[in-house]
Structure 1
Amino acid sequence: MTTDLAIEAENLARSYRTRTGWLRPQRKTIEAVRGVHLAVGRGELFGLLGPNGAGKTTTIKMLNTLLLPTSGTARILGYDVARDALEVRRRIGYVFGGDRGLYERLSALDNLRYFAELYGVEPREQLPRIQELLETVGLSGREKERVEGYSRGMRQKLHIARGLLHRPQVLFLDEPSIGVDPAAARELRRVVADLVAGGTTVLLTTHYMAEADELCDRIAVIASGTLRAEGTPAELKDRVRKLDVLEVEVHDAVGPEHLQRLRDTAGIEQATVETSGTVDVVTVHARPSHGTHAAVLAALADLRTGKVTTREPTLEDAYLSIINGTTTGSA
C-alpha cells in the first residue's frame, strides 16, 4: 500500500463518559478531541501544539492505535488505525516524555535487548542495530550502566533509541524534552533533525515554542479538542506580525484587575504576565498606534514600572494569540 501521506485524519473525535458525585451520581460526556483533520506528508516533521488538556496526547494515542476513535477515521501510511492496527504498529514508534517505560535496574543495553525482542527484531540484527542507535543518540560507552543512574536527558535519549529499534517509518514524539536541561534538549533536537533528514516522518508535541520553531516544517495548534490553526512557523508568526509586542517590567505584583484594565483598553488585543525573579513582566499585543505606550503605562499607573521594550512577534506570541481566540483559521 503506497500513499504520499504518512498520517491522515478526517473528522477524528474521541469522547469519554464520566461519573461525578456519590449520593446523586451524574454522568456526562467529555469531548477530548472534536473533528480533527490532519494530513502529514512522508518525511515531514509536524508539530502539534496546545495547552495541557487540549487533546494532543489523546490525538496521538488514537493515531498510534492505543485509543479507538469515537468517530472519524485515521490512517498511517494508508492503513486504518482501527481496522489495520497490527499493520500500523509495525510501522510506527512512540516516544513519550517522563520516566515511564524503562527498567531502572537494567542497563541501557539490556533494556534495548528486551525491547528488541518485543518488537520482533531479528536476533542476528539486534546487537548491530542497538550499537547503531546508541551511537545515534549519543549513549555509546554508557550502555552498560544501570538506567537508575541516568540523567533525565540520557533517559530521553534511551527512550528515542527504544522507539527506533524496529526502524519505524513514522515516529510519534510526545513532549520528549520535558524536564530536560538545555544542553540535553539541544542534543535531542539534533537527534530528531537527523531522523527527519534520514526520511523518518515525525509528529512532535511540545510546550517549548523555540523547539517547535526550530524543528517543525508545519505546525497545528489544538485547543479544547479542536484545531485552531495550521501552517509553517513563519505563516503562524505572520498572523501577529501586524501587532506590536510590548514588554513592561513591573516592580509590584500585577493583579488580574491590571490585566483586565489592559484588555479593556482600545487597540490592545491581549495582555499576559510572567514573573521573572523579583520582577513581573507584562506582555501586551496591540495594534500599532502612536498612543500605545502611553495607554499601557496609564493602565499600570498605580504600579512601579520599569523598562518598556518593543520586539518582533515570536511563535509563542502567535500561539498565545491563537489559543486565546484572537486569530483563527488556516494560514
Structure 2
Amino acid sequence: MNVEEGEIHGLLGPNGAGKTTLVKVLSTVLLPTSGTASVLGFDVVRDTNRVRQMIGVVLGGDRGVYWRLTGRENLEYWSALYKVPARTAKRRVTELLRMVGLADRADHLVEGYSRGMKQRLHLARGLVGDPQVLFLDEPTSGMDPVAALEFRRLVTDLRAQGKTILLTTHDMAEAEAVCDRVTLIDRGKILAVETPNSLGRMVAQFERIDFQGGTDDLLQILASVPGVASAKLMPDGRHRVELESESASRQVLEVLVSAGVSAINTSRPSLEEVYLHVIGNRTE
C-alpha cells in the first residue's frame, strides 16, 4: 500500500479489518509484528523519532484533550510538548483556532464543547507541530451532518495546503466526497486500491441507466445493443441497463427516447455498493 504525497487517502473496511491498527503502526504507537512500514522514507521502527516529528495524529473520541482546560490552553499545552517556541506557539494557536472555527470559543472550557467542536479541537491539536502527514481515525464519527460537512471542508482545505492525509472511515459518502484514492481492507488484507470512480467499475464497468416504464420487448431491444452488459427489471419496479462500453450510452438513450421513456437517470455505482460487493455483509 502506498499513499501519494499531497493526497487524501481513505482506508475503508468493516470493524476488525485493521484500519486503526494500521494507523497506530504508521504513527509509531504500535510495533508491527511483521513486514515494514515507512513515512516519508523513514522506517517506523528504526526511525521512530524522525517519523514523529513529521506527523500529526487525530484519534478523536474523549481522550487527547483536557476538558477542564480551555481550547486555547489545550493547544498551548500541546505546543509546549512539541517544543514550539512560546512566541511562535501563541501565533500558531490563534491561527489554528481560527482555522477550525473555534476562535469565538477559544477561552471556553472544553467540557462545554459539542461533539463537533471537540473533534475540531482534536484536528487543531494534530496540526500544532505543522506536520507533513496527518492521520485521521474515524474523524466524523458521532457528528451531526452539518458538523461532519464542515469537518470535511477543513480536511480538503488541508490538502490544498499540501498536507498528506490518511483517513479511516465507515462513511462511504465521506470517502467518496473527500478522498483522492481509497484502499479497501478486510482482515488485514488489501482488497483494492483505486480512485472512488475507478472502484465503481468493480461492480459495473461503466455507467448504468435507470428508467421507469417500458415493456419486456424494450428490455430485449436494449439488451441487444452492442456494449450493454444487462437490461433487467429491478425489485422496486425500475428498469436498469448496465453498460460495459462508454459508446453504448448514447445508443441506449436514443432507444429510450424513441420509445417515449422520459424518466431516465444515469449514474455510476456508489462507493457503498462497491464496498458491499467486494467485502460483503460478513457477520462471522
Instruction: Tell me by how many angstroms 1:94 deviates.
Output: 0.3
Match for residue 230 of structure 2 among 269, 285, 288: 288
Structure 1 unpaired stretches of 5+: 1-37, 247-286, 297-306, 326-331
For the 8 Å contact 1:47–1:216, the answer to whether it is kept is yes
After superposition, the C-alpha distances for 1:133-185 in whole angstroms (9 at most, x for unaligned) are 01111111110111110000000000000000010000000000000011111
Aligned length: 235
Give the aligned residue type for 1:288.
S
Answer 1 or 2: higher relative contact order, Cα 8 Å, separation at least 6.
Answer: 2
In the alignment, the residues of structure 2 paired with residue 205 and residue 245 of structure 1 have an alpha-carbon distance, to the nearest angstrom, of 31
**Identical residues among aligned pairs (%):** 52
Aligned equivalent of 2:167: 204
In the alignment, the residues of structure 2 paired with residue 150 and residue 105 of structure 1 have an alpha-carbon distance, to the nearest angstrom, of 11
CA RMSD of aligned residues (A): 1.9
Give the aligned residue type for 1:127.
K
The DSSP-based 3-state class of the residue aligned with 1:129 is helix
Aligned equivalent of 2:218: none
Aligned equivalent of 1:319: 275
Aligned equivalent of 2:185: 222
Match for residue 156 of structure 2 among 193, 201, 216: 193
Structure 2 residue 10 is the aligned partner of structure 1 residue 44: no
Aligned equivalent of 1:270: none
In the alignment, the residues of structure 2 paired with residue 83 and residue 192 of structure 1 have an alpha-carbon distance, to the nearest angstrom, of 30
Residues 148-167 of structure 1 mapped to structure 2, 5 A cutoff: 148-167=111-130
Change (3 A) 1:244 1:141: same
Aligned equivalent of 2:131: 168
The DSSP-based 3-state class of the residue aligned with 1:288 is strand
Instruction: Tell me by how many angstroms 1:289 deviates.
Output: 4.3
Point out 4+ residue stretches in structure 1 off by more than 6 angstroms. 243-246
Instruction: Tell me by how many angstroms 1:105 deviates.
Output: 1.0
Give the aligned residue type for 2:59.
F
Instruction: Tell me by how many angstroms 1:308 deviates.
Output: 3.9
Aligned equivalent of 2:44: 81
Q: Say which structure is richer in helix.
A: 2
In the alignment, the residues of structure 2 paired with residue 118 and residue 94 of structure 1 have an alpha-carbon distance, to the nearest angstrom, of 14
In the alignment, the residues of structure 1 paired with residue 40 and residue 208 of structure 2 have an alpha-carbon distance, to the nearest angstrom, of 42
Aligned equivalent of 1:147: 110
* Superposition TM-score, scaled by structure 1 size: 0.68
In the alignment, the residues of structure 2 paired with residue 180 and residue 134 of structure 1 have an alpha-carbon distance, to the nearest angstrom, of 19
Q: Say which structure is richer in strand.
A: 1
* Superposition TM-score, scaled by structure 2 size: 0.79
Match for residue 57 of structure 2 among 94, 112, 128: 94
For the 8 Å contact 1:244–1:288, the answer to whether it is kept is no
